[in-house]
Homo-oligomer: A and B are copies of this chain.
Amino acid sequence: MQDKITQVFKAIADPTRRDIFHALVIASAALSISQISNQFDITRQGITKHIKTLEEAGLVHIESKGRERFCNVNTNPLKELNKWLKFYEQFWDDSLEDLGNYLDTKNP
């Protein structure tokens, strides 16, 4: 099994999954599998597989209600990616504004 951060990176490395994830975030409500697949050109089963990947990365949490399964989004695992990126931020060659932001986070 891969480590957590790899799971999250791989989950969002796929453009379709990023789209599903985004759809869930802007919906600001739990969406059923069918509701999601209606928005995409791939089959419901294809969506289910993507959802499972997102779920395993902790980006989606599923709640069953009757015959439906509602997908709740959770953006928190993205914090790990942010933390990973943070280290390399110091090597970006950038404008003074961004350097300022960096120094602010270093010296709050």
* A residues lining the B interface (CB < 8 Å): 2-3, 6, 9-10, 12-15, 18, 25, 73-76, 78-79, 81-82, 84-85, 88-89, 91-94, 96-97, 100
Contacts of A78 in B (CB 8 A): 85, 88-89, 92
Shortest Cβ gap from A6 to chain B (Å):
5
User: How many copies of this chain sit in the oligomeric assembly?
Assistant: 2
Main secondary structure of the interface of A (DSSP, over half): helix
Contacts of A74 in B (CB 8 A): 96
Q: Which of B18, B76, B94 contacts A100 (CB 8 A)?
A: B76
8 interchain residue pairs of minimum CB distance: A9-B13, A75-B91, A13-B13, A75-B88, A10-B13, A76-B97, A6-B15, A78-B88
